[in-house]
A = this chain, B = another copy of it.
Amino acid sequence: MTEFRAPLRDGRFVLYDVLDGESHYASLEACEPVTRDVLDSILDAAATFSEQALFPCNRAGDEEGCRLTDGVVTTASGFKAAFDAYREAGWAGMIGDPAYGGQGLPASIRLLAGEPMTTANMAWTMYPDLSLSAIHALGMHGTEAQKKKFLTRLLAGEWTGTMCLTEPHAGSDVGLLRTKAEPQADGSYTITGTKIFISAGEHDMVDNILHLVLARLPDAPAGTKGISLFIVPKFLVNDDGSIGMRNGVSCTRIEEKMGLHGNATCELVFADAIGYRVGAEHQGMRCMFTMMNSARLGVGMQGLGVMELAYQHALPYALAREQMRSLSGPKNPDGQADPIIVHPDVRRMLLTQKALLEGGRALIYYAAFKSDLSLYGADASKADAEALLSFLTPIVKAFLTEAGFECANHALQIFGGHGFIRDNGVEQLVRDARVTLIYEGTTQIQALDLLARKVLLTQGKALIAFIAEMKSCAADARQPLPDLAAALDALAEEWGAFAMSIGGRAATDADELGAAAVDFLMYSGYAALAYFWVRMALVAKRSAHRDAFLDGKLATAEFYMRRILPRAQAHRLAAEAGAATLMNPAPEAFAH
């Protein structure tokens, strides 16, 4: 049975040695100050909680799943106890406003503390993490009364939240939703409709659940411009804060899924349920985006967590499993065979995991810092940080989840037949990971967001800034790492030219956007990781205390640039083939 250990060394390497987290946190204003000691103690505590409370019930989540009986969902063994421990330790209120019981820490700290949790048990971690989105939405758009009544309870970990967008006919196309909100005389609304695929939509861990629901007012315009946001509690709440009557919302079904069995994916029926509007009429999509952007970084973190846990399965197995002799002669002559880590292709699969995982960690930590700066940075830097965060969010979400699924499959392949059977826990990772490419906006949706809104609509503002950072890093690396520096510099030039060439074609044919988007996003992910790998290699190269860990960084940087980065070229060539290759065939020509 694989053990899970939070990767504290690598996390601290990125946090302090690569991204200079101490200076970062010292630079923030108007939030709780964070010293290195404080941060380390938070990360240590998160690691211990994840290792001791969450990982041990990860398989129970998969095997027992959730049970729905008479509208009540029972979670797997250990899940409720872990949530009680989470609440008691105060994890639920890390990022909230101190006026409502939060600890006022910058958002990156919550993301960093959440990393070992989602790594150890992704299905469990979604119960508290869906609350984060509700905390964001209420914090930004709630009234004082809503904050007192609802936000305080979320920050105390007494209740949890959900995000209710999807309906059977309205998935990626949220604008099609039909759930109705009728205004009542007392200022509340009655909500009626059916929502599906609601993660953590019903469960037994807390006394109340607050559903954040998108619905239409009677006079609402069609599409996304006619959607408003409502808070619909499972139980109504009396003015003294005590729990009142059951509201008109019920769980009518939980989905049988490929994976993520530990999290209840619910169909929720709202029948004249009482709700309270959050934010202005018809501004629900804006409010929801407040939730979605942080949720998208959270799903990117799920991708990273999958990579980490997959690697923690694959590496010990590759070191222990003995099959066949090295082609260059026995390496373990006293054993029946050599450990499979001697075989070049096993190393290729391990290094692919390591490169995507550790590069991905640098990317998401960097994005998390931009998130802090956009809220708490010096005023002059807020807009730039916000632009970079907006640009990186779809890359983090889509690229890290695609990479997570790939890496889980590499781990399974290293186990061979032993990976396909359930005993070793690797196939669960593949099944769990698969949904991360879909929810919170599919890879396709992220790709359009990146290319159309974040790059072309802004005339490439954030991309240009990021490319400038790459070129500056390349200049810095020229002396100690000439090959890596030259490759990075050329890549930075090419990325800009690639975006320009798509923009040029898209000016006359909007389908060029859709035809290039996913390949552009994947290219961008590989390019961004190249930047972080050169930065990491530079830190390793310049270190006065070179050890196996830092040697590994240098070797992996070299591996990444030479064996993974060529994939970017395949994506660029495919995208540059243009839209006609996709749009010309008539629908009938797809049949056979």
By a beta-carbon cutoff of 8 Å, the part of chain A in contact with chain B is: 7, 9-10, 166, 169-173, 176, 196-197, 255-259, 265, 315, 319, 322-324, 326-328, 336-337, 341, 343-348, 350-351, 354, 358, 405, 409, 412-413, 416-423, 427, 430-431, 434-435, 437-439, 442-444, 447, 509-511, 513-515, 517-518, 548-549, 551-552, 555-556, 558-559, 562-564, 566-567, 569-570, 573-574, 577, 579, 581-592
A434 pairs with B430, CB closer than 8 A: yes
B430 pairs with A416, CB closer than 8 A: no
B551 pairs with A577, CB closer than 8 A: no
Query: Given known contacts A345-B517, A347-B582, is B421 in contact with A510 (CB within 8 Å)?
Result: no
For the complex, what is the distance from the CA of A127 to the CA of B378, rounded to whole Å? Answer: 68
For the complex, what is the distance from the CA of A420 to the CA of B413, rounded to whole Å? Answer: 22
Query: Given known contacts A336-B169, A345-B447, is B430 in contact with A351 (CB within 8 Å)?
Result: no
B417 pairs with A437, CB closer than 8 A: no
Q: Which 9 A-B pairs have the closest CB atoms?
A: A552-B589, A344-B514, A566-B573, A258-B427, A562-B577, A327-B510, A548-B588, A173-B323, A344-B515
For the complex, what is the distance from the CA of A435 to the CA of B412, rounded to whole Å? Answer: 10
For the complex, what is the distance from the CA of A550 to the CA of B423, rounded to whole Å? Answer: 48
Q: How far is the CB of A258 from chain B (nearest CB, A)?
A: 4
A589 pairs with B258, CB closer than 8 A: no
Q: How far is the CB of A269 from chain B (nearest CB, A)?
A: 17
A354 pairs with B590, CB closer than 8 A: yes
Q: How many copies does the complex hold?
A: 2
A582 contacts across to B, CB distance below 8 A:
344, 347-348, 351, 559, 563
B514 pairs with A354, CB closer than 8 A: no
Q: How far is the CB of A558 from chain B (nearest CB, A)?
A: 6
Q: How far is the CB of A580 from chain B (nearest CB, A)?
A: 9
Chosen A-B contacts, 27 in total, with CB atoms closer than 8 Å, are A171-B417, A171-B418, A255-B421, A257-B421, A259-B420, A315-B591, A319-B587, A328-B509, A344-B517, A344-B583, A345-B447, A345-B518, A347-B585, A348-B518, A409-B434, A416-B438, A416-B442, A420-B434, A420-B438, A552-B585, A555-B584, A555-B585, A558-B581, A562-B581, A566-B570, A566-B574, A567-B570
Closest B residue to A258 by beta carbon equals: B427
For the complex, what is the distance from the CA of A323 to the CA of B223, rounded to whole Å? Answer: 12
A518 contacts across to B, CB distance below 8 A:
345, 348
A197 pairs with B347, CB closer than 8 A: no
Closest B residue to A357 by beta carbon equals: B592
For the complex, what is the distance from the CA of A272 to the CA of B323, rounded to whole Å? Answer: 27
A589 pairs with B337, CB closer than 8 A: no
Taking A551-B589, A563-B582 as known contacts, 11 extra A-B pairs with beta carbons closer than 8 A to each other, sorted by chain A number, are A171-B416, A172-B416, A173-B322, A176-B337, A344-B513, A348-B515, A552-B588, A559-B585, A563-B574, A566-B570, A567-B570
In this complex, which of A324, A344, A511, A515 has the most chain B Cβ atoms within 10 angstroms of its Cβ?
A344
Closest B residue to A197 by beta carbon equals: B417
Closest B residue to A506 by beta carbon equals: B327
B422 pairs with A439, CB closer than 8 A: no
A265 contacts across to B, CB distance below 8 A:
421
Q: How far is the CB of A13 from chain B (nearest CB, A)?
A: 8
For the complex, what is the distance from the CA of A455 to the CA of B167, rounded to whole Å? Answer: 54
In this complex, which of A323, A586, A588 has the most chain B Cβ atoms within 10 angstroms of its Cβ?
A323
Contact of A327 among B514, B587, B589 (CB under 8 A): B514
A255 contacts across to B, CB distance below 8 A:
421-422
B562 pairs with A258, CB closer than 8 A: no
A422 contacts across to B, CB distance below 8 A:
255-258
Closest B residue to A325 by beta carbon equals: B173
A442 pairs with B413, CB closer than 8 A: yes
Q: How far is the CB of A8 from chain B (nearest CB, A)?
A: 10
Query: Given known contacts A176-B337, A358-B592, A434-B412, is B586 in contact with A548 (CB within 8 Å)?
Result: yes
A584 contacts across to B, CB distance below 8 A:
555, 558
B257 pairs with A413, CB closer than 8 A: no
B563 pairs with A431, CB closer than 8 A: no
B590 pairs with A444, CB closer than 8 A: no
B551 pairs with A585, CB closer than 8 A: yes
Q: How far is the CB of A233 from chain B (nearest CB, A)?
A: 25
Closest B residue to A346 by beta carbon equals: B444
For the complex, what is the distance from the CA of A416 to the CA of B197, rounded to whole Å? Answer: 11
A9 contacts across to B, CB distance below 8 A:
592
A562 pairs with B591, CB closer than 8 A: no
Query: Given known contacts A176-B323, A419-B438, A585-B555, is B514 in contact with A341 (CB within 8 Å)?
Result: no
A569 contacts across to B, CB distance below 8 A:
566, 569-570, 573
Q: How far is the CB of A511 from chain B (nearest CB, A)?
A: 5
B427 pairs with A439, CB closer than 8 A: no
Closest B residue to A412 by beta carbon equals: B434
A549 pairs with B434, CB closer than 8 A: no
Closest B residue to A578 by beta carbon equals: B562
Q: How far is the CB of A563 from chain B (nearest CB, A)?
A: 4
For the complex, what is the distance from the CA of A192 to the CA of B564, rounded to whole Å? Answer: 47
